Amino acid sequence: MAAVLAAGALALVLTGCVPESTPTSTAASSAPAVSETPTPTASDAPPPALVPNGTAAENKPYFDYLNNQAIAAAGGQPDGPAFINSLRAGGFVVEVMELTPDITTVGVKADSVQFSVRAPDACIIGQWGTVGGYTSIIAAPLSTGKCFIGQTRPIDF
């Protein structure tokens, strides 16, 4: 008896999985379609903008936007000056920027380059490398007021 009941229950479950052989018409299908306003997507949003004298957190989206633009403009092979020039053209002040050399002490292209903009409250630091791609962080400035330890590249271009 239990086997018969189990088989019957299984048959009922499986009949719900069989598609209808012919579509049915409903009154709703003959009604005209209602047009809804599309939901804006991220691509519809305006690009971020510089917040003059803004915090690092306020300006990081714009910093990232400009750096990604520099990467695209350089065909995925930007150098340090490409980032600095993009940031400068975007309105960041050169006097608060730092850049690491993109040529090593033995004369080969560095695996990565770091660049920063010092905001009133913190440093926005970007890094680009052929292995790791682009990344950025916000970090406290050093006691010297700088964003990087060691010798940086002069921004004289």
Residue 97 lies inside a defined structural domain of this protein: yes
Residue 64 lies inside a defined structural domain of this protein: yes
Q: Which residues pair with residue 109 across a beta bridge?
A: 103
Which residues constitute the domain of residue 85? Answer: 56-139
Report the pLDDT averaged over residues 114-141.
97
Asked whether 78 and 109 are in contact (CB, 8 A), the reply is no
Residue 104 lies inside a defined structural domain of this protein: yes
pLDDT digit string (tens) for 53-93? 999 999 999 999 999 999 999 999 999 999 999 999 999 99
Residue 114 lies inside a defined structural domain of this protein: yes
Residue 107 lies inside a defined structural domain of this protein: yes
Asked whether 138 and 57 are in contact (CB, 8 A), the reply is yes
Which pLDDT does position 130 carry in this prediction?
Answer: 86
Residue 80 lies inside a defined structural domain of this protein: yes
Q: What is the DSSP string of 72-101?
A: HHTTT---HHHHHHHHHHTT--GGGEEE--
Residue 10 lies inside a defined structural domain of this protein: no
110 pLDDT exceeds 70?
A: yes
Residue 20 lies inside a defined structural domain of this protein: no
Which pLDDT does position 44 carry in this prediction?
Answer: 79
Count of structural domains within the chain: 1
